[in-house]
A and B are shown apart, each in its own frame.
Chain A
Amino acid sequence: MPDLSINFAGIKSPNPFWLASAPPTNSGYQVMKAFDAGWGGAVWKTLGVPVVNVSSRYGGVNYRDKRLIGFNNIELISDRPLVDNLREMEEVKKHFPQHAVIASLMVQSREEWHQIVRDVTNAGADGIELNFGCPHGMCERGMGSAVGQEPDVLRLIVEWVMEVAQIPVIVKLTPNISDITEPARAARLGGADAISLINTIQSIVGVDLDLFAPYPIVDGQGTNGGYCGPAVKPIALNMVKNCAQDPHVALPISGIGGIENWRDAVEHILLGASSVQVCTAAMHFGFGIIREMTAGLEQYMTEKGFATIHDMVGKALPNVKHWEDLNLKYKVTATIHEDKCIGCQLCYTACEDGAHQAIALREGTRVPEIIEENCVGCNLCSLVCPVEQCITMERTDDGTEHLTWKERTLANSIPTSFNDERAGGLHHWVPEPTAALGKEKHKTLPGKARQLGQPSPVSTELKS
């Protein structure tokens, strides 16, 4: 049995799955229920100054029949009295001494920071997370992402906190910034013990086409909110990787953003996270998802032979390179496995209209054919193909050569003009522009084409 427990910057937890600071951690009731269900830790809903929330707070992005692939909110930090939260925090710790309770905080002045850090420490919190991320409502009051976007201010506040902190301090970063490593470095310079990322991304999830207003609608109007859920994972992964690879950051990372199952969690971990936090998935499906997450993680670790979480943290980082370091000699081409093909011809139209006209149709069969000379190996066809393993990308170079753009630059062998024999697309065949005219109108406009007086499609056997 692999050991799922972690020691994250001094915060111990029976597994790496924490609830992120958000509605699921709004009360002692919820946190206890989550621990009971199997969660390893919880970052308490951000505590700080008194706030007033609006009614109608969330908006969703659906993709076809899939609900909430993206989610946004215009909610503020906890609107419950601080004393109630502190009392409940104490109670939770009494019942769950081995679980991680982290207090998320957001206040303004140095005195306020000192006071609240002492309060939560007295309540038994195992760690502190500084919320420098909320992209709406709080930033207007000089808190949240207003801090996270100003590395100098961020560093100053971290320093204030460190003056009194007796428990580990995590700085939660906002992604609403062009280079995430700047605030991450500032956190380190300020003396923080760890960072967590990402908070939500400024967003408008949709516009009501009848009311002409953005979602969520508050009395006919709306505002930008914070975006999260499965759709943000790619952005989160990239930012986690950036921080993990930056030698000037060098802090433990709690990965957040779009984690819904064990795979998402493992991806965050392989890119450098040593704990993970979940919000949207718990809001969508409830605390029960933890069973699938721990079971999947355990299975994966067993199969891969990882004894501890620590063994796998950052395992993918050596393979995440700059573009200029990639092997230009590597070559793949698409192969269609005819026995699997169902003839949807999505690959054909994708390559024809969206790539390199490297797939042809043949008489008498719906199975398309790859024109190898034209295939640049972009992967598009294999991505659109609805059948598992029906289009595979096969390596065609012999694997002996390795040459990167950086090496070519150093060797002075980069193309300098378009006629240069060393230029990339020089001999790549493209059809004549006019060959496009009328080519497939009858196939892409079938109903209309028939309606406009084409010969009847009806079969006939006349004058028998």
Chain B
Amino acid sequence: MAEFPIPASEQDFHANFAQLKPRMNNTEALYESSRCLFCFDAPCIKACPTGIDIPQFIRQINTGNVTGAAKTIYEANYFGNACGKVCPTEVLCEGACVYNLQDVKPIEIGRLQSFATRQVIESDQHLFKPGQPNGRKVAIIGAGPAGISCACELRALGYEVDVFEAKAQPSGLTVYGVAPYKITNEEVLAEIDYLQAQFGFHVHYHSPIATRQELEALEETYDAIFLGIGLGGTNALRLPGEDRQNCVGAVEFIEQLRQHHHRVAVGRKVIVLGGGNTAMDAASESARLGAEDVILAYRRGKDEMGAYEFEYDLAKSVGVKGLFNVAPIEIVGNGKVEGIRFVRTQTLNGQVQVVPGTEFVEPCDMVIKATGQAKQVSFLRHIPSLELDKNGRIVANAASGQTTNPQYFTSGDARNGGAEVVNAAAEAKAAARGIHAYLLGQ
């Protein structure tokens, strides 16, 4: 098989991982923006979790006011450029565009959005300023989409903001998790720089907050604390042989890929376990790294996969094959992975059942487990009276982001259990306003 040659250089890597939503040129943007109908009470706006006034910004692009378009976008969503490129627009704004009902191609809202925002980022055209200092301080744990969005909104409201980030770079999974063909590291980081230059929040890198003592210090110094910590590493499968060499977690594999590009090695035959979007990404990414065979193995049937249809289509388009109704029971091998022992399954009344006597070994030299991300439960236990739901998500008021410990607020993956960048951006903006309302009331 091998649709893609093994990338040997940065150039090869970018060829294999070419951007799915490449930048529009001016003419393309003019043509595409001309098609927008300027719907009344437009369905695309309602489908955008951040509620960007889409017909407005498209009209602004069309009339040559690209700066104004970028402002419209950023007023609603601080990750305007990243979202234009990484949002699953097929199920959000573009999926809601009225043209779908006419069997006409929907407006390419995501690409238009990035067209406008890239322009202001590159020309470093500032659109916002911090608000008048109000003397209050907020600590933010995690510099992902949630943390950074919250920081921007709080700065606009006049708060002093310190962001504590465990890693070396900001923007969380946007730079460590999202597939490289959706957005490049440089593009993600340029947007964060652009925001930081305008809002002036402080980010402390390599600063994980891990202990009760560290939390106490924050509680004393800051008026409120925002938890933008996202999720943790890949869940363990608890299968025999899981510790064999070349059996890796998807989140960990993708993090390596985002940082080291073509220097990340992939097996000749890769099996990806899982049926969610991360599984689709890991499979596509393996194929683009030059694996000869990539198999997606899922416990249930094809139609029951959690992944969006277009993500599965994308994986198939690079040669990934599906293996459905199989459950792994052992990672076989001798030191290194040599295969997976599966048993066939069937779904009865929604329950997956093993079909006895159907075991078989599918050989492979790499296993990627895309079986969900763990929650950061042990860390969160250090926060007094912070309630988690049964799935390990932080319980918080939807409108204000306030947790059951009134000094703590949260949003993004840590609260919603894992959604999209755009959800984190929307919820964090709301949480910043929640913090503001709470502190005003004190």
Contacts and interface: CB of A to CB of B under 8 A. Distances in A.
Contacts of A65: 30-31, 34
Contacts of B99: 342
User: Which of B41, B53, B101: most chain A CB closer than 10 A?
Assistant: B41
Contact of A458 (B31, B389, B390, B430): B430
Interface in B335-358: none
Interface stretch (B6-14, B110-118, B323-331, B392-400): B392-400
A343 B399 contact: no
Given A64-B62, A65-B34, A464-B390, A458 B102 contact: no
B390 A342 contact: no
Interface in B20-75: 30-31, 33-34, 37-43, 45, 49, 51-53, 56, 62, 72, 75
A66 B423 CA distance: 37
B396 A447 contact: no
Given A64-B62, A462-B398, A349 B426 contact: no
Given A343-B101, A458-B426, A447 B399 contact: no
B53 A344 contact: no
B192 interface: no
A447 B398 contact: no
A447 B37 contact: no
B39 A346 contact: yes
A450 B56 CA distance: 14
Instruction: Sort chain A's interface into a size bin.
Output: 20 to 34
Contacts of A448: 53, 75
A346 B397 contact: no
Contacts of A462: 389, 395-398
Contacts of A455: 399
A458 B423 contact: yes
Contact of B102 (A342, A451, A460): A342
A459 B423 CA distance: 10
Contact of A443 (B40, B98, B395): B40
B40 A453 contact: no
Contacts of A460: 398
Contact of B53 (A66, A345, A447, A453): A447
B418 to A, nearest CB: 14
Contacts of A451: 75-76
Contact of B389 (A387, A444, A464): A464
Contacts of A445: 53
B389 A463 contact: yes
Contacts of B433: 453
A464 B62 CA distance: 45
Contacts of A366: 43
Nearest to A66: B34
Contacts of A433: none
A457 interface: yes
Contacts of B37: 344, 346, 386
A91 B106 CA distance: 55
B75 A447 contact: yes
A446 interface: yes
A450 B51 CA distance: 7
A460 B51 CA distance: 16
Nearest to A447: B53
A349 B395 contact: no
B101 A458 contact: no
B427 interface: yes
Interface string B414-428: 000000000100110
Nearest to A460: B398
Contacts of B426: 456-458
A348 interface: yes
A455 B431 CA distance: 11
A456 B399 contact: yes
Contacts of B40: 344-346, 348-349, 443-444
Nearest to A387: B102
Contacts of B39: 343-346
Contacts of B33: 64
A342 B103 CA distance: 10
A458 B427 contact: yes
Interface in B374-391: 389-391
B76 A450 contact: yes
B49 A458 contact: yes
A447 B51 CA distance: 6
Contacts of B102: 342, 386-387
A463 B51 CA distance: 25
A342 B102 CA distance: 6
Interface in A67-100: none
Contacts of A344: 37, 39-40, 98
A66 B56 CA distance: 20
Nearest to B100: A342
A457 B429 CA distance: 11
A458 B46 CA distance: 11
Contacts of B51: 446-447, 450, 457
Contacts of A440: 41
A458 B416 CA distance: 10
User: Which of A341, A346, A456: most chain B CB closer than 10 A?
Assistant: A456
B419 to A, nearest CB: 9
Contacts of A453: 433
A447 B52 contact: yes
Given A448-B75, A456-B399, A443 B31 contact: no
A428 B46 CA distance: 35
B430 A456 contact: yes
A453 B30 CA distance: 33
Interface string B65-101: 0000000100110000000000000000000001101
Nearest to A352: B40
Given A343-B43, A386-B37, A451-B75, A463 B56 contact: no
Given A342-B99, A348-B40, A447 B72 contact: yes
A350 to B, nearest CB: 9
A137 to B, nearest CB: 31
A439 to B, nearest CB: 12
A460 to B, nearest CB: 3
A186 B430 CA distance: 75
A359 B39 CA distance: 15
Contacts of A346: 37-40
Contacts of A463: 389, 395
B31 to A, nearest CB: 5
B389 A447 contact: no
The 3 A-B pairs at the shortest CB distance, nearest first, are namely: A460-B398, A447-B53, A456-B430
Given A65-B31, A464-B389, 10 more contacts: A341-B101, A342-B101, A343-B39, A345-B39, A345-B41, A348-B40, A451-B76, A453-B433, A458-B398, A458-B427
Interface of B: 30-31, 33-34, 37-43, 45, 49, 51-53, 56, 62, 72, 75-76, 98-99, 101-102, 389-391, 395-399, 423, 426-427, 430, 433
7 contacts: A65-B30, A342-B102, A446-B51, A450-B76, A456-B399, A456-B430, A458-B49
